[in-house]
Amino acid sequence: MRPSELLTLTPSGLYCPQADAHIDPVRPVRRALITHGHSDHARAGHEAVLATPETLAIMAVRYGVDFAGYTQAVRLGETVDLNGVKVSYHPAGHVLGSAQIALECEGLRIVASGDYKRARDPTCAPFEVVPCDVFITEATFGLPVFRHPDTRDEVAKLLASVQLFPERAHIVGAYALGKAQRLMALIREAGYDQPIYVHGAMERLTEFYQQSGVPLGEIRKVQAAERPKLGGAIVICPPSATQDLWARKFPDPVTAFASGWMRVRARARQKGVELPLVVSDHSDWDDLCRTILDTGAGEVWVTHGQEDALVHWCTSRGIRAKPLHMLGYGDEGEVEPDTAGPADAPPVAEAAS
């Protein structure tokens, strides 16, 4: 069986004809295999959804419990048989419940990694290398200029600023699923034990992380009336809220933004971010390259992002590679600041195209 027979590109996304299943489809389909809960990968309206229990729960939080006609939980490490295709889910290290999906048939194995990172994240299971013939990767930060720093240093910058300006509120823009909770966990690891305040748009997802056993310490939802009293506090909110009237009600706010894009200083300046924190839930250039080599794949498909550079890197090493130029992805968790959703909209409206 050739790879293109096991998995083929359709307008709805990658499709396995034998299993009659799409991976992270961008349109409603009969059977969807979902890698993780970000809204560009996990959409409502499919007939059946197979995903990890955490991803199913996240989709229910965002879209309501009737987001699909039928759901089937597949745990990390578990394999299900779909008409002779072995489908298994493996940790991707991206957000809570995130999975790489492996399809195996007649000795051919293709791994669709969804979004993934190799950097440490205390809020989810670490990425697992799955040996395969074809590895499907994104390339959000697929240029050699993107090398993410140690997140501990970035959090230390935030806490140093809080110490330096104890009368100012620190308003940190971070995406509602994954980034926000990872930041909270990292702040706790750095020894900060005061309550952390959150915008209403991330309250339910943060609660879900805590219910799932991720320790985040005391998290308080910001009440409108108390904003002027929160000098010295750390407040985490959707990125666009940092530019809103909402943020200006805090005492002399310091504006921070946690994103891999903060590596680009001009972008931080342009967005009025005083305190850029380079924290990404995607692999940087080195980890993209390392992961491709680790899988041993002889062929690589690049879904979206900086596809050309990564394809070139592969082919220069004798690995067959092709860009898929897939539309509809561009992670909400790492969407560029320009396209962030409205701050007061519910999380479901954060989808980025």
Residue ranges that bind Zn ion, judged by CB under 5 A? 38, 115, 331, 333
What sign results for the dihedral spanned by CA atoms 308, 312, 313, 317?
Answer: positive
- One-letter amino acid identity for 168? R
What sign results for the dihedral spanned by CA atoms 113, 115, 119, 122?
Answer: negative
Q: Which is nearer to Zn ion, 148 or 227 (CB)?
A: 148
Q: Which is nearer to Zn ion, 38 or 227 (CB)?
A: 38
How far, in Å, CA of 273 to CA of 256, rounded? 6
Residue 42: CB minimum distance to Zn ion, A: 9
Residue 302: CB minimum distance to Zn ion, A: 16
Annotate 275-306 with DSSP letters as a single string.
EEE---SS--HHHHHHHHHHHT-SEEEEEEES
- 91: helix, coil or strand? strand
Among all chains, which residue has been given the structure tokens 């490490």?
A: 77
Residue 115: CB minimum distance to Zn ion, A: 4
Q: Which is nearer to Zn ion, 239 or 333 (CB)?
A: 333
Q: Which is nearer to Zn ion, 257 or 329 (CB)?
A: 329
Residue 51: CB minimum distance to Zn ion, A: 13
- One-letter amino acid identity for 241? A
Residue 281: CB minimum distance to Zn ion, A: 7
Burial pattern 255-266, b for ≥16 Cβ within 10 A else e, equals bbbbbbbbbbee
Q: Which is nearer to Zn ion, 79 or 339 (CB)?
A: 339
